[in-house]
């Protein structure tokens, strides 16, 4: 069974390394400042000529309240008036980008992330969606995969009704933890009733999917308290559930400095939380998709994994990895063919550049042949827990064993340790290795070294 996980505490202790989550390969850490608007527009022309379908990501950075654990690119403000100048520049970016896209290229996937996208007023959300429909080929038959991140404290039934009317059919709810003491420690007070009201609204309004995000390793958490949170969330029956490991990096993320390291759970308690949560979710019928993600068996992600079509990109696990991804808004990342590009991460600079009629593309990279090969290997392992050497050899014209000769002793060690089954035909990730698949993928990362590794969270 694809979703089988075997808990092996000894292996976890040995292979719980810091490393990337591989929403891309190469990762954003490798982006350089020599990529600009010209590179993006050139890639868009190639996408148009090929007639590839598109995925849009729209970044709305504003939050009314700061959550101390957060590592997102965000702007904390209670001044709702700050949204309009940003919206105007976002619309300008949409206009420029759309000139290089053909109307026949369907927008199969759309995602509003943040920040808190529902920070925008109903009129502003309506205006933004109208602008997107005016300039891109958004689907009108509800067949698209159109999702939005929601803070249940910032939404109500009327908000959900508006979002459904605008064409959204998936929602992702930030919850993190339902224990009041934990919530106070991270400055995110949110009742179970607030969350349940949004889930019930989504069901009534026939949203296709509800995802709930949880985080383990937060201050004041204990295995017993977190087990209660997981049980209460399971009772809401979300279609998907994400269970993230909190990475305490106060030197990189200023809000985390308000969290006392003395309040953080011990490594042993963190492991207990993860193990308990996996057991609870498995008993409730959820399948382990990989990389902190669980889904019910009839969810599209679970079906895609069974059928071998699951992929991964900057929006996480997806059934739309074949689409070119256009990122809109401050810090947004695009992946178009072999180009990765990222907008300016400073909102003032982003707005000023677009105010001058220019795109705010600031950094990125062009993938070379080696990047494409390693990306294919990592994607296959992280999405399907198996790799057939013949597939890689045929697609990239290499002899796998020769190309990765230097890795073979380490792969053989993983085989001996029981993480993988290594044969002449390929690699199969064993149940004991599924939680540690990132550690396997790191072997194939040409850019990873100790200095780069320090920028990432641990696997578990």
Task: Determine if residue 68 is labeled as part of a ligand binding site.
Answer: no
Question: What residues form DSSP beta bridges with 138?
Answer: 107
Task: Determine if residue 191 is labeled as part of a ligand binding site.
Answer: no
CB 138 within 8 A of CB 98: no
Task: Determine if residue 72 is labeled as part of a ligand binding site.
Answer: no
Task: Determine if residue 70 is labeled as part of a ligand binding site.
Answer: yes
Task: Determine if residue 149 is labeled as part of a ligand binding site.
Answer: yes
CB 348 within 8 A of CB 356: no
CA 452, CA 19: separation in Å to the nearest integer? 8
Quickly tell me which residue has 């850019």 as its tokens.
Answer: 447
Task: Determine if residue 176 is labeled as part of a ligand binding site.
Answer: yes
Pairing state of beta strands 339-343 and 361-366? antiparallel
Task: Determine if residue 197 is labeled as part of a ligand binding site.
Answer: no
Give residues with Cβ within 8 angstroms of 159, minimum separation 6.
118, 122, 150
Phi-psi region of 331 (alpha: psi -120 to 50; beta: other; left: phi over 0): left
Task: Determine if residue 256 is labeled as part of a ligand binding site.
Answer: no
Q: What is the 3-state secondary structure of the chain?
A: CCCCCCCCHHHHHHHCCECCCCCCCCCHHHCECCCCHHHHHHHHHHHHHHCCCEEEEEEECEECCCCCCCCCCCEECCCHHHHHHHHHHHHHHHHHHHCCCCCCCEEEEEEEEECCHHHCCHHHHHHHHHHHHHHCEECCCCCCEEEEEECHHHCCHHHHHHHHHHCCCEEEEEEECCCHHHHHHHCCCCCHHHHHHHHHHHHHCCCCEEEEEEEECCCCCCHHHHHHHHHHHHHHCCCEEEEEECCCCCCCCHHHHHCCHHHCCCHHHHHHHHHHHHHHHHHCCCEEEECCEEECCCCHHHHHHHHCCCEEECCEEECCCCCEEEEECCCCEEEECCEEEEECCCHHHHHHHHHCCCCCEEEEEECCHHHHHHHHHHHHHHHHCEEEHHHHHHHHCCCHHHHCHHHHHHHHHHHHHCCEEECCCEEEECHHHHHHHHHHHHHCCCCCCHHHHCCCCECC
Task: Determine if residue 69 is labeled as part of a ligand binding site.
Answer: yes
Task: Determine if residue 188 is labeled as part of a ligand binding site.
Answer: yes
Q: Which of 362, 373, 360, 369 is nearest to 340 (CA)?
A: 362
Task: Determine if residue 174 is labeled as part of a ligand binding site.
Answer: no
- Binding region for S-adenosyl-L-methionine: 57, 69-71, 114-116, 149, 176, 188, 213, 247, 333
Binding residues: 57, 63, 67, 69-71, 114-116, 149, 176, 188, 213, 247, 333
Binding residues for [4Fe-4S] cluster: 63, 67, 70
């Amino acid at each position: 069974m694809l979703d089988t996980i075997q808990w092996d505490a000894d292996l976890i202790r040995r292979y719980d390394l810091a490393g990337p989550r591989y929403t891309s390969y190469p990762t954003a850490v490798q982006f350089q400042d020599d990529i600009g608007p010209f590179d993006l527009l050139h890639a868009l022309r190639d996408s148009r000529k090929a007639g590839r379908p598109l995925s849009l990501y729209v970044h709305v950075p504003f939050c009314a309240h700061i959550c101390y654990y957060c590592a997102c690119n965000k702007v904390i403000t209670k001044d709702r008036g700050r949204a309009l100048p940003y919206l105007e520049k976002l619309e300008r970016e949409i206009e420029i980008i759309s000139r290089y896209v053909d109307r026949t290229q369907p927008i199969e996937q759309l995602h509003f992330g943040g920040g808190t996208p529902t920070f925008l007023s109903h009129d502003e959300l309506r205006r933004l969606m109208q602008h997107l429909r005016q300039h891109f080929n958004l689907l009108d038959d509800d067949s698209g995969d159109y999702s939005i991140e929601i803070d249940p404290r910032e939404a109500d039934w009327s908000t959900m009704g508006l979002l459904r009317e605008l064409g959204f059919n998936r929602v992702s709810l930030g919850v993190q933890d339902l224990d009041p003491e934990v919530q106070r420690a991270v400055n995110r007070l949110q009742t179970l009733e607030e969350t349940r009201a949004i889930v019930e609204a989504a069901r009534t309004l026939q949203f296709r999917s509800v995802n709930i995000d949880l985080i383990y390793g937060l201050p004041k958490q204990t295995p017993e308290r977190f087990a209660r949170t997981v049980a209460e969330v399971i009772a809401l029956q979300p279609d998907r559930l994400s269970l993230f490991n909190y990475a305490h990096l106060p030197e990189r993320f200023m809000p985390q400095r308000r969290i006392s390291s003395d309040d953080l759970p011990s490594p042993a308690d963190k492991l207990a939380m993860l193990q308990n949560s996996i057991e609870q979710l498995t008993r409730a019928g959820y399948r382990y998709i990989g990389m902190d993600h669980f889904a019910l068996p009839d969810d599209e992600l679970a079906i895609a994994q069974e059928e071998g079509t699951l992929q991964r990109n900057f929006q996480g696990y997806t059934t739309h990895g074949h689409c070119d991804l256009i990122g809109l808004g401050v810090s947004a990342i695009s992946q178009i063919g072999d180009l990765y590009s990222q907008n300016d991460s400073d909102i003032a600079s982003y707005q000023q550049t677009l105010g001058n009629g220019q795109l705010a593309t600031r950094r990125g990279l062009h993938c070379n042949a080696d990047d494409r090969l390693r990306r294919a290997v990592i994607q296959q392992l992280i999405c399907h827990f198996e790799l057939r050497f013949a597939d890689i050899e045929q697609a990239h014209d290499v002899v796998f064993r020769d190309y990765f000769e230097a890795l073979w002793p380490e792969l053989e060690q993983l085989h001996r340790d029981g993480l993988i089954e290594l044969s002449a035909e390929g690699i199969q990730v064993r149940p004991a290795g599924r939680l540690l698949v990132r550690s396997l993928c790191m072997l194939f990362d040409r850019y990873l070294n100790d200095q780069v590794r320090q920028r990432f969270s641990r696997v578990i």
